[in-house]
């Protein structure tokens, strides 16, 4: 049994997330966590809300609430929506937790002792209208790289380039909208990332060489090859991940030191461990510094919430406490890659302590929306609460995962969504379940029928499913999500093709026993489909398991054995319609209602 530590990028607290956010980290992480649990492995799946910094302050001000109250309420809402989408977190924490306060200050102290934090006198933007220094995200303007007119002072949302506020064209305050800005001098702490450049470069090179080594084994069917290609500790990293990391390391002037403090009221006070930091009394840590540390702190929150000890969470996070055999996989959108390949590893390495470093980073491109872009700040696209108000979670989970933007940006369109739901879920999986259970009830009653033997046709199906399930497992192990979805759909199709070819309704007229054998195999296929499909569509899978009157969710290592799990005489029930079709009228209505803005 392997041990899998899984984290997904923690979402900002400022509002309800859209479907692009969901598929960019949390949903594929949940798919992987569910799959690893189904295979019998031990899983720790952690996420949290990112509650500090500008987004929280601005959103709270807009809502007319104190920031701590706003964050508390929004955490509850995001947790409720996560549950609605069946995200199976072991713990969904908060970056404002006492655990994260202590751990962030502890890391800062360790980095200071290592000489990796420097006090820098720097120039920052001051708003005369607002009477305060403006953190990067409080400043908006035109991006000098792509011309996007709502770029933030730290990064352009459109082209993802890292920025400084002074880079923006026509900058303005995001609080008041005032352009009465001036540059003043202030003191802040910087993490000396440049001093870690060679160590980080070597670490990334190991991942690239690891990828090259693994490719030598592609095409090999040996146990050693499969182990290399399916263990996060040796799996080849996605090109998207390594290319972004290398670009930040080497383009331009290379990896730059980065400020880790800000002039804000809301955040983690700047301290060296439990000691004050002279000159930094009125400052807080910059959100990019404390947010990744929350991954670790979240383990401590989990332990406290479940009556566990420090040893219970440290065995996941410290290699001197048992985490040396942990397989740690992170899921995130491409805009988060620089922080997780460089800045956060620099924090962990720089501490000089045996914290667990990530083994594999699964990064994603962007999911666009119906000819435009999803955007939380602009309120553009379908948001998680709106999606669940329209259709149950499984409809969305299937479409998003089967269209995951792994190798390039992908686009949500209502036409494609309708076609995928109607064809894959209703016509293929749902139709198979309905035909088999209703036919059996009408001819044999509501129990698995006895009689008849399996012949060459059944053996051919078993052989085909054995190959396909092995391919499905390989794609899931390698976190090739779209390929895995395609293979799962092919497994569903194989059952339909078998049923259509075997024609139990015709056999029943002349040879009821032969028809019984076909139905018996088909009912067992339904249980098999539930087990295989559970990571993608957990509610439908649970419905099928209940209908088949079984809690046997064992993974089909032996397909022939799996297809005899429900013996003759085993009772079952005909489930309600598993997936309904989306009508053209509904599609047109939704397309109009959600034409691009949250308020539209």
Residues in the annotated binding site: 143, 146, 156, 159, 376
β pairing state of 139-142 and 169-173: antiparallel
* CA-closest candidate to residue 263, choices 137, 139, 135, 171: 135
Helix pair angle (239-250, 197-215), 10° resolution: 150
Helix pair angle (456-477, 27-38), 10° resolution: 130
Q: Which residues in 491-515 are b (16+ Cβ under 10 Å) and which e?
A: bbebbbebbeebebeebbeeebebb
* CA-closest candidate to residue 521, choices 543, 498, 542, 544: 498
Radius of gyration of the chain (CA): 27
Question: Which residues make Cβ contacts (< 8 Å) with residue 426, sequence separation at least 6?
Answer: 578, 579, 580, 581
Tokens 């592609």, located at residue: 218
- Cβ distance 290 to 104 under 8 Å? yes
- As a whole number of angstroms, the distance between CA 132 and CA 125 comes to 9
**Residue 121 dihedral angles phi and psi, to the nearest 5°:** -90, 120
Task: Give the neighbor-by-neighbor strand order of the sheet with 360-364.
Answer: 91-94, 42-49, 3-8, 326-333, 360-364
CB neighbourhood size of 281 (10 A): 10
Tokens 């933030």, located at residue: 152
3-state SS track over 91-146: EEEECCCHHHHHHHHHHHHHHHHCCCEEEEEEEEEEECCCCEECCHHHEEEECCCC
Tokens 């108000």, located at residue: 389
Binding region for ATP? 376
β pairing state of 261-262 and 284-285: antiparallel
Binding region for Zn(2+)? 143, 146, 156, 159
- Cβ distance 355 to 318 under 8 Å? yes
Tokens 């900058």, located at residue: 171
């Amino acid at each position: 049994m392997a041990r899998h530590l899984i984290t997904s990028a923690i979402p900002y607290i400022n509002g309800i997330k859209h479907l692009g956010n969901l598929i960019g980290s949390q949903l594929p992480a949940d798919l992987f966590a569910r799959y690893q649990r189904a295979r019998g492995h031990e899983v720790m799946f952690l996420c949290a809300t990112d509650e500090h910094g500008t987004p929280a302050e601005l959103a709270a001000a807009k809502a007319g609430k104190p920031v701590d109250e706003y964050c508390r309420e929004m955490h509850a809402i995001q947790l409720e929506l996560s549950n609605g989408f069946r995200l199976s977190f072991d713990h969904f924490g908060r970056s404002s937790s006492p655990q994260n306060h202590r751990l962030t200050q502890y890391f800062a102290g360790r980095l200071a002792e290592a000489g990796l934090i420097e006090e820098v006198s720097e120039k920052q933007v001051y708003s005369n209208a607002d009477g305060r220094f403006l953190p990067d995200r409080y400043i908006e303007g035109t991006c000098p790289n792509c011309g996007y007119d709502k770029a933030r002072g730290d990064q352009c949302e459109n082209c993802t380039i890292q920025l400084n506020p002074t880079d923006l064209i026509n900058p303005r305050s995001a609080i008041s909208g005032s352009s009465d800005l001036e540059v003043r001098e202030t003191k802040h702490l910087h993490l000396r990332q440049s001093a870690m450049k060679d160590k980080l470069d070597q670490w990334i090179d190991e991942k690239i060489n690891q990828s090259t080594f693994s490719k030598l084994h592609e095409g090999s069917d040996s146990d050693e090859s499969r182990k290399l290609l399916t263990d996060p500790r040796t799996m080849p990293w996605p090109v998207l991940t390594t290319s972004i990391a290398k670009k930040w390391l080497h383009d331009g002037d290379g990896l730059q030191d980065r400020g880790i403090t800000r002039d804000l009221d809301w955040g983690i006070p700047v301290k060296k461990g439990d000691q004050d930091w002279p000159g930094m009394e009125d400052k807080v840590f910059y959100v990019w510094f404390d947010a990744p540390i929350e991954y670790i702190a979240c383990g401590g929150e989990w332990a406290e919430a479940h009556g566990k000890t420090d040893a219970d969470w440290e065995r996941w996070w410290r290699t001197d406490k048992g985490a040396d055999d942990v397989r740690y996989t992170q899921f995130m959108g491409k805009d988060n890659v620089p922080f997780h390949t460089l800045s956060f590893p620099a924090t962990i390495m720089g501490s000089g302590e045996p914290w667990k470093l990530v083994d594999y980073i699964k990064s994603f491109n962007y999911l666009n929306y119906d000819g435009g872009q999803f955007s939380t700040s602009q309120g553009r696209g379908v948001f998680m609460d709106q999606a669940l108000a329209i259709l149950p979670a499984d409809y969305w989970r299937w479409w998003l995962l089967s269209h995951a933007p792994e190798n390039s940006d992908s686009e949500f369109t209502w036409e494609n969504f309708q076609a995928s739901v109607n064809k894959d879920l209703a016509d293929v999986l749902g139709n198979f379940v309905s035909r088999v259970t209703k036919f059996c009830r009408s001819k044999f009653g509501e129990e698995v029928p006895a009689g008849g033997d399996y012949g060459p046709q059944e053996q051919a199906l078993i052989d085909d499913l054995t190959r396909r399930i092995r391919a499905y497992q390989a794609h899931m192990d390698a976190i090739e999500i779209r390929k895995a979805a395609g293979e799962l759909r092919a497994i569903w199709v194989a059952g339909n093709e078998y049923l259509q070819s075997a024609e139990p309704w015709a056999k029943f007229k002349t040879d009821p026993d032969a028809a019984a054998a076909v139905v018996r195999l088909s009912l067992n296929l339904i249980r098999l489909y539930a087990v295989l499909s559970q990571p993608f569509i957990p509610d439908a899978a649970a419905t099928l398991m209940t209908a088949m009157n079984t809690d046997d969710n064992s993974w089909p290592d032996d397909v022939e054995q799996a297809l005899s799990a429900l013996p003759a005489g085993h009772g079952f029930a005909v489930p309600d319609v598993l997936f309904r079709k989306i009508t053209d009228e509904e599609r047109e209505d939704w397309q109009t209602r959600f034409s691009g803005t949250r308020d539209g």
